[in-house]
Amino acid sequence: MNSFYYDSVVDAFKKPEVGIPPIPPHLEHPIVSTQWGHTYLWIVFFIMAGFSVLFFISSQRASYRYRLMHTTTFFITAIAAISYFAMATGVGKTLTTIGEGHGAPREFYFARYIDWALTTPLLLFDLTLLAGLPVAETIVLVLADEIMIVTGVVAGVHPTKTGKWGFFTISCVAFAWVLLQLVTSGRSTAFLRSPKVGGLYNQISLALVVVWTLYPVAFALCEGTGKLSPDKEILFFAVLDVVAKPLWGAWLLIATPDEGHVLVPESLCAPAGSPASGGYGAISQEPRAEDA
């Protein structure tokens, strides 16, 4: 009986055989990850899931009007946990070619791009909440970020070198514009709130900029040229994701002072129908004078 349960646990964490379509016989053997890469994916899943639990508890303990940043950070790691669970269980990937001159197809994890398309706007939203950036500038920043991610995934799956590096260049231009806005408009707006908020914004935005700058490097070495194996690719992106999401998010929540939060209006926090929400409040059960 004990051996049955042991074998079941071992089988659950084995590298799954799903997610890769059948290989046409005329193609070379595909370049795919091994058990090491699969193990990295599981480790990061548990890290993301664990931090998600902590951030959720933190959001529930915070006052309603201070919950916005806590809740946003929770969704960042929760989405990342779902993405890593998908990759660890063998889905969210396909085969693609690096370009001309590379006959063997290579494993490509598109699940991480779906993750980034959802989480990077939330990371930027956290930063804009700290800085107090106007809504219009925040929207433009998020749109530029989405262009960066979408052109990045197209670069990853493009079959030609010209198309791959062309879309990669477009992605880098959008990325540079995002960084420019963070270090110019974001910084000046943060210091308008208070010197303490401005100082924290300088530190936390610089950390995010440094980590994000390594993502194009990882793409160039992995999905762009195939210099690193799929296992090393998984590890490279995994380390960046852990630093950029749970560790960065924990730093943000712990270090942000009260004046660094954007308070949600009380009318949006109060139960529907209460006077604070703009409603009529509870219906009085006392008899009216005219009914006496």
SS3 of the chain: CHHHHHHHHHHHCCCCCCCCCCCCCCCCCCECCCHHHHHHHHHHHHHHHHHHHHHHHHHHHCCHHHHHHHHHHHHHHHHHHHHHHHHHCCCCCEEECCCCCCCCCEEECCHHHHHHHHHHHHHHHHHHHHHCCCHHHHHHHHHHHHHHHHHHHHHHHCCCHHHHHHHHHHHHHHHHHHHHHHHHHHHHHHHHHCHHHHHHHHHHHHHHHHHHHHHHHHHHHHHHCCCCCHHHHHHHHHHHHHHHHHHHHHHHHHHCCHHHCCCCCHHHHCCCCCHHHCCCCCCCCCCCHHHC
**Least confident stretch, 86-100, 196-210, 272-286:** 272-286
Whether the per-residue pLDDT at 262 is higher than 90: the answer is no
pLDDT score for 126: 92
pLDDT score for 282: 47
Q: How much is the pTM? A: 0.82
pLDDT score for 283: 47
- Reported as a single tens digit per residue, the pLDDT across 226-257 is 899 999 999 999 999 999 999 999 999 999 88
pLDDT band at 114 (very low <50, low <70, confident <90, very high): very high
Structural domains in the chain, CATH included, are 29-262 (1.20.1070.10)
pLDDT score for 6: 59
**Least confident stretch, 26-30, 86-90, 101-105:** 26-30
Report which of residues 265 and 209 the model is more confident about: 209
